[in-house]
Chain A
Amino acid sequence: MTGWEPVVGLEIHIQLKTQTKMFCRCENVWGEGPNTRTCPVCLAHPGTLPVPNGRAIEWAVKLGLALGCEVAERSVFHRKNYFYPDLPKGYQISQYDEPLCTAGRFAVPGSGGDHEIGIVRAHLEEDAAKTVHVGGKAGRISGAAHSLVDFNRGGTPLVEIVTEPDLHSPEEARRFLQLLRQTVVELGISDAEMEKGSLRCDANVSVRREGEEGLRTKTELKNMNSFKFVGDGIAAEVARQIEVYESGGEVGQETLHFDPASGRISSLRSKEEAHDYRYFPEPDLVPVEPPAALVERMRAEIGELPAARIRRLEGELDFDLSYGLVASGRDELYERVPGERRAVANVVMNQLAATGAHPGRVNAEELGKLIEARDRIPRATFDEALTAAGEPGFTAERYLAEEAVTDASELDPVIERVLAANGSQVAAYRSGKEGLLGFFVGQVMRETQGKANPKVVNERLRERLGA
């Protein structure tokens, strides 16, 4: 790996959560019965005409602005022609040489500062239908006997984002995608869930010698449906290419599939003449010239972006915590909760997250009181309180009343009882099995129903057993 630099660009598709599809007014829904949201337009019946979704246009502008793009004064839809059963018209309405948004920059903060990633373009297009392969050998497309097509997804709005090849590690690609996702979610324009396919990512990967100018042959990595797979897939492909070059070979241009189960990369049979799409302007649609008022209205709806928030939080936290809070959308709660910043960050990021409580529903003042008292109340009580923290009407009062027993005069009799009942373990401890300390602590905690302060119990036990 040393001496080589990965060069990665991403192509991302984001499914907009508009009420209706891109060019017809069928509902845009997920998970309904097959072919229950179709009409003559999205089934491509002859004589029908597409009508764009105004909100999809607005949201694509909004996303473009968040990506630092220029919004085109004039933008045109094109037909991208190819034959596939998920595309009933025989073409996809997309954008070609006049996309809605171009030339953006999106900052990816790292521990060593920001890295600006160039955005080539962000354009609008329609999604294809969903195809399920049935029969034949299980799980293998090539062995399927036939395919079932569900047009509910056909014609729903997508924004495609293309980055410059500015990403230089799998980790950076993963972080870019995570912050992009968080941005999209905060803009309120998509669920952007990779597992559901409402955020999809392909990567163009090449490598070059450190210091080398220009780009070598790239491969296209498809089907990475989680953030982890994006990182793992790119890492595997980078390693493969380096090995090819180091053993004197050449990397060929091809489309690859990453299998997360085995970590292996395999070649996909390329669609025949896949790159001859014969784009031409969609004659059924007129150009889009986003009015200045629309653009400014969208700009006004964009809040402080994740990268800026990470930088701001770094003033009081380390990079990892700042990044983790923002990338998971928990920084909003963190900022509302009063108290020592690091303690608040850790609880919000780790323990509270583990309870599944929705950050937006947590009463920040009450959570602050709880965190302030966390060393004085029993661990079990603290956990219980966190679990309840997202429920309506939550107050810390009841939990704060259960301050942990730290008073030695209360704890000592319990400790005596435990030691007396476990004579052989006491002997074992004293003959060197100091790992048994945890056992005694556990026994005392059980006797006190978890109300003892474990730190004090530890100290008292050591003292007694050492005698």
Chain B
Amino acid sequence: MEAGVAITREDVLHVARLARLEIPADQVEEVQGQLSAILEAVGKVSELDLSDVEPTSHPLDVVNAWAEDEPRPSLSREEALANAPDPSEGAFRVPAVGS
């Protein structure tokens, strides 16, 4: 995003909805200002000439970190479900999806 592009009220509500966050109506403006300030700060970077710099997706200069395809023990079902508030039939029971 370019420097100086302000976040609109709609942007805030949209992002909040995507993140399943509820922002009280009287705080939307405050969040709007905060997000705009963050973007503005990040936008400072684009004032530099970065044409020689490779995009960085990771801070470490490491590639190809992977493991052998060898099974390790899993949790027991009881352990897996220990934090489930409403387990049923060996599964995590959740409110109906798709409705």
Q: List residues of chain A with CB under 8 Å of any chain B CB.
A: 18-20, 25-27, 33-40, 43, 51-57, 74, 76, 81, 83-85, 131-133, 135-136, 141-151, 269, 273, 276, 278, 281, 283, 285-289, 291
Give the residue name and chain of the A residue nearest to B96 (CB). A144
Picked from B14, B66, B71, B93, the residue with its CB within 8 Å of the CB of A148 is: B93
- Check B46 for interface membership: any CB of A closer than 8 A: no
Starting from the known contacts A56-B69, A149-B93, 15 additional A-B residue pairs (CB-CB under 8 Å) come to A20-B69, A20-B70, A25-B70, A36-B76, A52-B65, A55-B68, A133-B96, A141-B97, A147-B95, A148-B94, A149-B94, A150-B90, A281-B57, A283-B58, A287-B64
Contact between B96 and A34, CB atoms less than 8 A apart: no
What is the 8 Å Cβ interface bit string for chain B, positions 40-79, against chain A (1 contact, 0 not)? 0000000000000000011010111111111110111100
User: Which among A25, A26, A283 has the highest number of chain B CB atoms within 10 Å?
Assistant: A25
How would you classify the secondary structure of chain A's contact residues: helix, strand, loop or mixed? loop
Bound-state Cα–Cα, A128 to B56, Å: 28
Picked from A43, A53, A144, the residue with its CB within 8 Å of the CB of B67 is: A53
Contact between A34 and B69, CB atoms less than 8 A apart: no
Bound-state Cα–Cα, A35 to B94, Å: 14
Bound-state Cα–Cα, A19 to B74, Å: 13
Give chain B nearest CB distance to A455 CB in angstroms. 58
Picked from A25, A36, A37, A286, the residue with its CB within 8 Å of the CB of B58 is: A286
Name the A residues within 8 Å of B67 (CB-CB).
25, 51-54
Name the B residues within 8 Å of A81 (CB-CB).
18
Name the B residues within 8 Å of A281 (CB-CB).
57-58
Bound-state Cα–Cα, A44 to B98, Å: 22
Contact between A34 and B91, CB atoms less than 8 A apart: yes
Picked from B58, B69, B90, the residue with its CB within 8 Å of the CB of A54 is: B69
User: Given that A76-B57, A146-B93 are known contacts, is A33 also in contact with B62, CB under 8 Å in the complex?
Assistant: no
Name the B residues within 8 Å of A57 (CB-CB).
66
Contact between B69 and A55, CB atoms less than 8 A apart: yes
How would you classify the secondary structure of chain B's contact residues: helix, strand, loop or mixed? loop
Contact between B96 and A147, CB atoms less than 8 A apart: yes
Bound-state Cα–Cα, A74 to B57, Å: 11
User: Given that A20-B70, A147-B93, A150-B91 are known contacts, is A269 also in contact with B63, CB under 8 Å in the complex?
Assistant: no
User: Given that A36-B77, A85-B94 are known contacts, is A286 also in contact with B69, CB under 8 Å in the complex?
Assistant: no
- Check B27 for interface membership: any CB of A closer than 8 A: no
Give chain B nearest CB distance to A195 CB in angstroms. 22
Bound-state Cα–Cα, A146 to B92, Å: 10
Name the A residues within 8 Å of B62 (CB-CB).
286
Contact between B58 and A18, CB atoms less than 8 A apart: no
Picked from A39, A51, A55, A149, the residue with its CB within 8 Å of the CB of B92 is: A149
Picked from A33, A148, A269, the residue with its CB within 8 Å of the CB of B77 is: A33
Contact between A291 and B64, CB atoms less than 8 A apart: yes
> Which are the 5 A-B pairs with shortest beta-carbon distances?
A281-B57, A148-B91, A55-B69, A25-B72, A54-B66
Give chain A nearest CB distance to B88 CB in angstroms. 6
Give chain A nearest CB distance to B38 CB in angstroms. 15
Picked from A19, A76, A148, the residue with its CB within 8 Å of the CB of B69 is: A19
Bound-state Cα–Cα, A25 to B76, Å: 14
Picked from A54, A133, A287, the residue with its CB within 8 Å of the CB of B97 is: A133
Bound-state Cα–Cα, A74 to B54, Å: 12
Name the B residues within 8 Å of A40 (CB-CB).
75
Bound-state Cα–Cα, A18 to B69, Å: 7
Give chain B nearest CB distance to A283 CB in angstroms. 7
Name the A residues within 8 Å of B76 (CB-CB).
36
Give chain B nearest CB distance to A404 CB in angstroms. 55
Give the residue name and chain of the B residue nearest to A129 (CB). B92
Bound-state Cα–Cα, A279 to B75, Å: 30
20 contacts between A and B (CB under 8 A): A19-B70, A20-B70, A27-B71, A34-B77, A35-B90, A35-B91, A36-B76, A39-B74, A56-B69, A57-B66, A141-B96, A141-B98, A144-B96, A144-B97, A146-B95, A148-B91, A149-B94, A151-B92, A276-B18, A286-B60
